[in-house]
A = this chain, B = another copy of it.
Amino acid sequence: MGSTGMNETPGITDQLTWIAVDWGSSNLRAWGLDQHDQVIAQASSDKGMLTLKADEYEAELERLVGDWLPTAGPIDVMVCGMAGARQGWLEAAYLPIPTRLDQLSQGAVTPTLTGDQLRVYLLPGLSQTRSAATHFDVMRGEETQLAGLVADTPDFTGLTCLPGTHAKWATLEAGAVSGFSTYLTGELYQLLANQSVLRHSIGSDELQDHACREAFVSAVSEIYTAPETFSSRLFGLRAQDLLDGRLPAGDTRGAVLAARLSGLAIGLELAGACRECPTDKPIMLIGNQALSQRYALALNAIGYQTQHVDGDSAVLAGLCLAHRALKA
């Protein structure tokens, strides 16, 4: 159980105006903000939704931010992510798309607390049913990152991608989500690399040298062009390891095959996500730097330009927007 923070900094309790929290499946991060939405304190823990019962959230939050709190209260806490799931603290029902991203706080729910120092708002996720699109989909947490885009550009229009275990692609029109798709890319990669027959061939995946980047990019292009070959190219990786005399030896061999597997998985995602999109507008990547760079490499290879917004900055900006809307 980790806890990091700046709890010792003097003056926090004097300046603290509200608290922003991104409470995911496997961890939570909290920011203390002043009246200008400037971060004056930070803390995090590994008590994500998967490890907490509904009646344990309040105590965990107080443990984490208790030192920040002034004696006069209560302090608003704006929470996004899995804490608002049905199996979380209290369900904040999905808002159906299309939904304006500056209106998320309209779907917030407030759990009943035992103490009186905090007033908690759990933001909702977004849902898409077959009446709105070709397939069912849900997001919870990512909508707040998307709201971060809208905080700067209220009428943002464009295609956005949030890489990850369950990568999300969302189309924004004038500040509203009009459609989205989730791709199991990260989870698919992990299962195949660690638990399938391919585990005998896959090494560590860093894209560190030229051979790896080349294997990655050519796999992306291959599957982007012919997504129907995905399943056979997976086994082909194993066969290549057995047969291909031109593969390098040692650790580089596993790294090249890992890069190829990553390229196959991301190529399949791109085939689904952006095949029919115009190439004249950049795709907005929201996420951590390493993964966003990998996606930029893949997207550039198939003719798309990208822009990058840091995922942590985006979620904090989205929580600020939601808090301002609540107070307006």
Q: Do B231 and A185 have beta carbons less than 8 Å apart?
A: yes
Residues of chain A in range 179-196 having any CB-CB distance to chain B below 8 Å = 181-185, 187-188, 191-192, 195-196
**Interface segment, one of A3-11, A134-142, A300-308, A311-319:** A134-142
Residues of B within 8 Å of A269, CB to CB, are 231-232
Q: Is the interface of A mostly helix, strand, loop or mixed?
A: helix
Binary contact track A217-257/B, C-beta < 8 Å → 1, others 0: 00000000001111111111011101110000000000000
- Given A127-B243, A166-B197: A188 in contact with B136 (beta carbons within 8 A): no
Complex Cα–Cα for A164 and B128 (A): 35
A235–B195 CB distance below 8 A: no
* A239 and B137 contact, CB distance less than 8 A: yes
Q: Which residues of B contact A234 (CB under 8 A)?
A: 184, 188
Q: Decide yes or no whether A271 CB sits under 8 A from chain B.
A: yes
Contact partners of A228 in chain B: CB under 8 A = 227, 268, 271-272, 275
A197 interface neighbour in B129, B187, B268, Cβ under 8 Å:
B187
Q: Looking at the assembled complex, report how far the CB atom of A228 sits from the nearest CB atom of chain B, in whole angstroms.
A: 4
Residue on B with the closest CB to A269? B231
Question: Which of B138, B187, B229, B272 is the one whose CB lies under 8 Å from A229?
Answer: B272
Contact count band on A:
35 or more
A232 nearest CB neighbor, chain B only: B181
For A235, give the chain B residue with the smallest CB separation. B182
Contact (Cβ within 8 A) A182 B239: yes
Instruction: From known contacts A127-B243, A191-B191, A230-B230, infer whether A236 and B135 are also in contact, taking CB-CB under 8 Å.
Output: yes
Taken together as a complex, chains A and B put the C-alpha atoms of A243 and B130 apart, in Å, by 10
Contacts of A243 in B (CB 8 A): 94, 127, 129, 136, 138
Q: This chain: how many copies in the complex? A: 2
Chain B hits for A236, CB < 8 A:
135-137, 182
Chain B residues near A182: list those with CB within 8 A: 232, 235-236, 239
Q: Tell me how far the C-beta of A2 lies from the nearest C-beta in chain B, rounded to whole angstroms.
A: 25
User: Judging by beta carbons under 8 Å apart, are B271 and A136 in contact?
Assistant: no
Interface string of A164-183 (1 = CB under 8 A from B): 00100000000000000111
A232 touches B166 (CB 8 A): no
* Nearest chain B CB to A233 CB, angstrom units: 6
B195, A231: Cβ atoms closer than 8 Å: no
Q: B136 near A232 (CB under 8 angstroms)? A: no
29 cross-chain CB contacts under 8 A: A129-B243, A129-B244, A130-B244, A135-B232, A135-B233, A135-B239, A135-B240, A136-B236, A136-B240, A136-B243, A136-B244, A137-B236, A138-B239, A181-B232, A183-B231, A183-B232, A183-B235, A184-B192, A184-B196, A184-B197, A187-B196, A187-B197, A188-B196, A191-B192, A195-B195, A228-B272, A230-B230, A231-B272, A232-B269
Given contacts A129-B244, A231-B269, 17 further A-B pairs with CB under 8 A are: A127-B239, A135-B232, A136-B239, A136-B240, A136-B243, A137-B236, A138-B238, A138-B239, A183-B232, A184-B197, A184-B231, A191-B195, A195-B195, A227-B230, A227-B271, A231-B272, A232-B273
